[in-house]
Chain A
Amino acid sequence: MSSQPLRHWLAAATRCRRQALRPATGLGQVRCINFTAGAEVPLETVDDWTQFQLDRADFKTLVQTFSEFGSTQNRENTFQPHHPLHRPVAPSQATISALLASGAHFGHSKSLMNTNFTPYAYGVRAGITVIDLDTTLPLLRRAAQVVRAIAAKDGIIVFVGTRPDLRSAVRKAAERLEGQGFHVGEKWLPGTLTNRLSMYSSEVNKERRVIPDLVIFLNPVANIHAIRECAIEHIPTIGIVDSNVDPRIVMYPIPANDESTRTAELIAGILSVAGREGVALKREEEQRIKGKARAAAKFLQRAREQADVSL
Chain B
Amino acid sequence: MFNLLRLHARPATSALQTARRCYATAFVPPASLTEGMTSPLPVKPKVKPDSPTFYTARAGYFDGLTALEDAITDTRRALTALQLLPLPQSVRKALPPLQPVWHTKDTLAGHLSAIVTTSKYRRYIRVLDQLNEYRQIAEIAGVVELAENLADIITSFERENKEAVLAHGKKKPVQFDEYGRSYTLGRRKESTARVWVIPVKTPEAAVSQSALQTESPGELSHFIPQPLTIPTKILPVTTTNIIVNNAPFIEYFPQLTDRERAILPLKIAGLLGAYNVFAIVRGGGTTGQSGALSLGIAKGLAAHVPEVAAILAKAKLLRRDPRMVERKKTGLAKSHKAGVHLRLPRFTLDNEGKTKAGLEYENKPNDSRE
Identify the A interface with B (CB < 8 A): 36, 39-40, 42-43, 46, 49-50, 52-54, 56-57, 60, 156, 158, 171, 174-175, 179-186, 188-189, 192, 199-200, 204, 207-210, 212
B78 at the interface (CB under 8 A from A): no
Identify the B interface with A (CB < 8 A): 44, 46-49, 52-58, 62, 66, 82-84, 88, 90-91, 94, 140-142
User: How close is B367's CB to chain A, nearest CB, in angstroms?
Assistant: 75
Q: Which of B44, B52, B84, B88 has the most CB of A within 10 A?
A: B52
Chain A residue numbers with a CB within 8 Å of B88 are 36, 39
A178 to B, closest residue via Cβ: B52
Chain A residue numbers with a CB within 8 Å of B57 are 189, 192, 199-200
B84 to A, closest residue via Cβ: A53
Q: Are A207 and B46 in contact (CB under 8 A)?
A: yes
A193 to B, closest residue via Cβ: B55
Chain A residue numbers with a CB within 8 Å of B55 are 158, 182-184, 188, 192, 212
Chain B residue numbers with a CB within 8 Å of A46 are 140-142
| Given contact pairs A182-B49, A183-B53, A43 touches B82 in the complex (Cβ within 8 A) | no
Query: Is chain B's interface secondary structure helix, strand, loop, or mixed overall?
Result: loop
Q: Are B52 and A210 in contact (CB under 8 A)?
A: no
Q: When the two chains form the complex, which single residue of A36, A52, A200, A208 contacts B48, counting CB atoms closer than 8 Å? A: A208
| Given contact pairs A175-B52, A209-B48, A53 touches B141 in the complex (Cβ within 8 A) | yes
Chain B residue numbers with a CB within 8 Å of A53 are 82-84, 141
Q: Are A208 and B94 in contact (CB under 8 A)?
A: no
Between A and B, 27 residue pairs with Cβ closer than 8 Å are A36-B88, A39-B88, A39-B91, A42-B94, A43-B91, A43-B140, A46-B142, A49-B140, A49-B141, A50-B141, A53-B82, A53-B83, A53-B84, A182-B49, A182-B53, A182-B55, A183-B52, A183-B53, A185-B56, A189-B58, A192-B55, A192-B57, A204-B49, A207-B47, A208-B46, A208-B49, A209-B49
| Given contact pairs A57-B83, A182-B49, A43 touches B94 in the complex (Cβ within 8 A) | yes
B141 to A, closest residue via Cβ: A49
User: How close is A282's CB to chain B, nearest CB, in angstroms?
Assistant: 13
User: How close is A159's CB to chain B, nearest CB, in angstroms?
Assistant: 10
Task: Please measure, in the bound complex, the distance between the C-alpha atom of A158 and the C-alpha atom of B57, giving whole angstroms.
Answer: 13
Q: When the two chains form the complex, which single residue of B44, B48, B141 contacts A179, counting CB atoms closer than 8 Å? A: B48
In the complex, given contacts A49-B141, A199-B57, what are 4 additional A-B residue pairs having Cβ atoms less than 8 angstroms apart?
A46-B140, A52-B83, A175-B52, A209-B46
Q: When the two chains form the complex, which single residue of B48, B56, B90 contacts A39, counting CB atoms closer than 8 Å? A: B90
User: How close is B2's CB to chain A, nearest CB, in angstroms?
Assistant: 30
Chain B residue numbers with a CB within 8 Å of A188 are 55
Q: Are B44 and A207 in contact (CB under 8 A)?
A: yes
User: How close is B99's CB to chain A, nearest CB, in angstroms?
Assistant: 21
Task: Please measure, in the bound complex, the distance between the C-alpha atom of A56 and the C-alpha atom of B85, giving whole angstroms.
Answer: 10
Task: Please measure, in the bound complex, the distance between the C-alpha atom of A179 and the C-alpha atom of B50, giving whole angstroms.
Answer: 8
Chain A residue numbers with a CB within 8 Å of B56 are 184-186, 189
Chain B residue numbers with a CB within 8 Å of A54 are 83
Task: Please measure, in the bound complex, the distance between the C-alpha atom of A52 and the C-alpha atom of B44, giving whole angstroms.
Answer: 62
User: How close is A230's CB to chain B, nearest CB, in angstroms?
Assistant: 11
Task: Please measure, in the bound complex, the distance between the C-alpha atom of A53 and the C-alpha atom of B137, giving whole angstroms.
Answer: 12
Chain B residue numbers with a CB within 8 Å of A49 are 84, 140-142
Q: Are A208 and B47 in contact (CB under 8 A)?
A: yes
Q: When the two chains form the complex, which single residue of B58, B66, B90 contacts A171, counting CB atoms closer than 8 Å? A: B66
Task: Please measure, in the bound complex, the distance between the C-alpha atom of A186 and the C-alpha atom of B115, giving whole angstroms.
Answer: 15
Q: Which of B47, B55, B140 has the most CB of A within 10 A?
A: B55
The 6 closest A-B CB pairs, nearest first, are A46-B142, A56-B83, A49-B141, A53-B83, A39-B88, A36-B88
B61 to A, closest residue via Cβ: A186
Chain A residue numbers with a CB within 8 Å of B141 are 46, 49-50, 53
Chain A residue numbers with a CB within 8 Å of B49 are 156, 182, 204, 208-210
